[in-house]
Structure 1
Amino acid sequence: MARKIDADAIRQRSRDRYFETGRDKRLTQFIDKLRDNAKALQKGNGSHRRSLFVIGETGSGKTRSIKRILPLIQEWQPFYDPYGDRVMPLICIKPPKPCSMRALAIELLTAMSVPVRGRKTDPELYVFLKEQLRERGVKAIWIDEMQDVLRNNTPKAIQAVQDVLKALVQIEGWPIHTIYSGVPALATFLQGDRQLARRSYVMRYEPMEFPDDAEWIEKIVGEVILDDCGMTRADDTRTDVFREKLCRAAGGAFGSLVEIVQEACFRAADNGRAEVKLSDFSKVYEEMTGCTRRDNVFVAANWREIVSANALDDIAPPAKSRRGA
């Protein structure tokens, strides 16, 4: 008798999984640098590098890594002061859209539950923000998806935000440290302001490549299917060709690769199977990208020529010329 597959239990076990890699250790070291520098600055010395930029493609796992590490920094955890007020040393936000100097200040004040009263001018609002950060004991700020600042903003507006970021880590008598994470477009943010670059550390979340990362790819496939989901693998998921296809399907993004394997398991479980097959991966890839069969990395003959990001090119309208007709 075939054993019953509990698809819901498989989903829960699998999604609780976290693959710790050498990147986690390196990211922890960078964040420790910021924490230790704050202590040094309180003693009258320390480095001018008070920001960390974490840069990687979408799905590379950077956000989840940061979320996992920040709760381990004891000095940045919430606590109650002697008056019974809750102090939040760490603020986590995403930039508002569009992101101006004023919008960013309001977003940070909102995260501290500070109402913005009256019609303050931008300079007044910024002075108020710095006062509140110091008075409320904020030691660190994490802004995720920081590349959104660049979207639809003028060079002048972007420079204004860059000036705000530099000033945040220079509040008199209160050394705040900042973390910014985003896709590679965020690199232009640093290239456009050398002062900001000189005050920052940068960590890259490099994409996975085959065959260099073949062992990691196999580890992810094996542990998700066998250990997390308690399922088995068909022979067509045990080859080097399959591992290379999987890496290409994920665009080399670590988190996306894990997600594809998980979703393949979920599909097999939903169909009452304990064995995960290549067909599960091809179907999941089709659903994720909207590709046709001839552009499906897992089954197409020319799969090495396929770019996942171009999956909808056959139905997407042509780009409009900026010069007009």
Structure 2
Amino acid sequence: MAIETSSKEPINAIERLRAHRNADDVAKSKRVQHVLNAYLPLPRDEELQDRLNDLIEHCAMALEQVSEGRARGRLLEGRALCLIGQSGTGKTTVLHKALARVKAFEGYQDPTSDSLLISIVAPSPGVSKQVAMQLLRALGYTTERVLQENVAWDLVRRQIALRGVRFVHIDELQHIHQVPNPIEIQKVRDTLKALMQNSVWPVSLILSGTPEIAPFLQADTQIRRRCTIVKFDSLSMPRDIAIVRTIVAQFCQRGGLDHDGLIRDLRSKEDKATDEFVRRLAHASIDEIGIVIEMVQDAITIAIRAGDDKLTGGHFASAYQRRTGCDAMRNVFLAFEWETIDVRSALYPENALKEEDRSRRRTVKNGGTY
């Protein structure tokens, strides 16, 4: 049976999605966009940018001295910058902001550009051949042939030189270390090391991922000594109360909302009422800055769409409920004993309790104590 197709011109998707909205909805949507598009620089951004600039300067010095025939020692090798942080710290967003500020990296996500950088997300599972194929796609090299692993990596090295690429960024590097085959992990490790050690065309690496990448880096002395590490730590209270306050205040200003009931004075160090709200927000966000920002944006979105002019704890309670599906008893912004709530299992807390019980039974069965 033949498939019938319409001869009508397709209607613009944006127009179709927005056809039902009135002028008030459009105005609110613009305010929400203003909040969602906002970027708040934090002190850690500057540290990352400095380390990235150091990496770029090392490459520039090496190229300069190679051209003059006087490069020696470490300048003949690529280096590595490693950004490590838990999921939700915002490391990917911050890193891409930093990369976008480098003129030589313009167009790095476009395979047809002349950028000195290419960027990929490590495949999962991150076996050696799959990593090579991802890099080839980022380099704009496509083929329908089934390539052997060694052929794929040889093409990567050739294409990097042909394209003039000097930097390779691999995000979610933990995918590689999650492969249940130490031989595969070592092959990736050796190949990345070879890219940095290539005497004809050394490449510098920018690696990012969760703390699971630490064993990948630490298992090889030659990789480790070429690395500069930047860590994005999780929030810690009361140390980071001021940071969370600033995030709330800045995004409220962006959305045109009053937040006086939540945070009355950013300069105050003894405001216990607002400190409790900040602690609840941090706990609800698993103590990760990136999730704090998302939670604040979600709460502001709810307030704007409701037509409210003041951000309240109720908006955060709604945002948390929508994100987790929890009931009021387990809502961090409503519960009395909020600190005891396991936010990682907020969707189905009973499953977490069952797993805890099973863990206890296994411990006792194996002769342990609980």
Superposition map of 1:245-284 within 5 A: 245-284=280-319
Percent identical pairs in the alignment equals 28
Inter-partner Cα distance in structure 2 for 1:118 and 1:269: 53
Superposition map of 1:1-325 within 5 A: 6-42=27-63, 43=65, 44-45=71-72, 46=74, 48=77, 50-78=79-107, 86-116=113-143, 118-225=145-252, 227-233=253-259, 235-236=261-262, 238=264, 239-316=274-351
Which amino acid is the alignment partner of residue 233 of structure 1? H
Structure 2: unaligned runs, 5 residues or longer? 1-23, 66-70, 265-273, 366-370
Q: How many corresponding residue pairs?
A: 314
Inter-partner Cα distance in structure 1 for 2:107 and 2:297: 34
Shift of 1:78: 4.8
Inter-partner Cα distance in structure 2 for 1:293 and 1:98: 39
- Indicate conservation of the 8 Å contact 2:325/2:346, yes or no: yes
CA gap of 1:119–1:279, structure 2 versus 1, over 3 A, is: closer
Task: Provide, for residues 238-287 of structure 1, a one-character-per-residue CA deviation record: whole Å limited to 9, x for no partner.
Answer: 51111111111112211211111111111112222112211110111122
Which amino acid is the alignment partner of residue 263 of structure 1? D
Match of 1:82 in 2: none
Task: Provide, for residues 13-56 of structure 1, a one-character-per-residue CA deviation record: whole Å limited to 9, x for no partner.
Answer: 11221111111111011111111111222211445561111011
Task: Provide, for residues 213-236 of structure 1, a one-character-per-residue CA deviation record: whole Å limited to 9, x for no partner.
Answer: 1211111111111x1111112625
Inter-partner Cα distance in structure 1 for 2:107 and 2:331: 47
CA gap of 1:313–1:197, structure 2 versus 1, over 3 A, is: farther
Task: Provide, for residues 110-146 of structure 1, a one-character-per-residue CA deviation record: whole Å limited to 9, x for no partner.
Answer: 1111124645432232222211111210111111111
CA gap of 1:120–1:258, structure 2 versus 1, over 3 A, is: closer
- TM (normalized to structure 1)? 0.88
Which amino acid is the alignment partner of residue 231 of structure 1? L
Which amino acid is the alignment partner of residue 314 of structure 1? P
Inter-partner Cα distance in structure 1 for 2:209 and 2:199: 28
Deviates more, 1:196-205 or 1:150-159: 150-159
- TM (normalized to structure 2)? 0.78
Inter-partner Cα distance in structure 2 for 1:107 and 1:78: 17
CA gap of 1:282–1:191, structure 2 versus 1, over 3 A, is: same
Shift of 1:86: 4.4
Match of 2:17 in 1: none
Instruction: Pick 1 or 2: higher relative contact order, CA cutoff 8 A, min separation 6.
Output: 1
Structure 1: unaligned runs, 5 residues or longer? 80-84
- Indicate conservation of the 8 Å contact 1:296/1:303, yes or no: yes
